[in-house]
Amino acid sequence: NAGVTQTPKFQVLKTGQSMTLQCAQDMNHEYMSWYRQDPGMGLRLIHYSVGAGITDQGEVPNGYNVSRSTTEDFPLRLLSAAPSQTSVYFCASSRTGKSGNTIYFGEGSWLTVV
């Protein structure tokens, strides 16, 4: 059971470039989300989805787009990368996202924007 799989694990981008971080889960979870983690800041929610075709913004959505065409996949798109988007990105999923449901994290994607 692979759980939550993120790719790529490491990426270096130039300012202004766009890219997509891929996230896939094989647990048939309804709820998926993207967090970014910066030193001393904890995890901050970027976007989340409660099911295929439904997405919503989290705490820090600017500069990012998401879509959820299938239950399994939840890609995160950086539209025009900026140095402030240098961070570690974690994709997560849970059965419903509601209280009492464990959130499972992917292994993370380390992104550097130069």
Partner 1 sequence: QQPVQSPQAVILREGEDAVINCSSSKALYSVHWYRQKHGEAPVFLMILLKGGEQKGHDKISASFNEKKQQSSLYLTASQLSYSGTYFCGTEGGAGSYQLTFGKGTKLSVIP
Q: Can you give the binding site for partner 1, defined by CB under 8 A? A: 31, 33, 35, 40-45, 48, 50, 56, 58-59, 90, 97-108
Annotate 45-69 with b (16+ C-beta within 10 A) or e (fewer). Answer: bbbbbbebeebeebebbeebebbbe
Q: Which is nearer to partner 1, 57 or 80 (CB)?
A: 57
Q: Is residue 23 a contact partner of residue 6, using CB atoms and an 8 Å limit? A: yes
Q: Which is nearer to partner 1, 85 or 93 (CB)?
A: 93
Q: Which is nearer to partner 1, 91 or 113 (CB)?
A: 91
- Report in angstroms how near the CB of residue 85 gets to partner 1 at its nearest: 19
- Report in angstroms how near the CB of residue 10 gets to partner 1 at its nearest: 11
Q: How far apart are CA 16 and CA 90, in angstroms?
A: 22
Structure-block tokens of residue 37: 């983690």
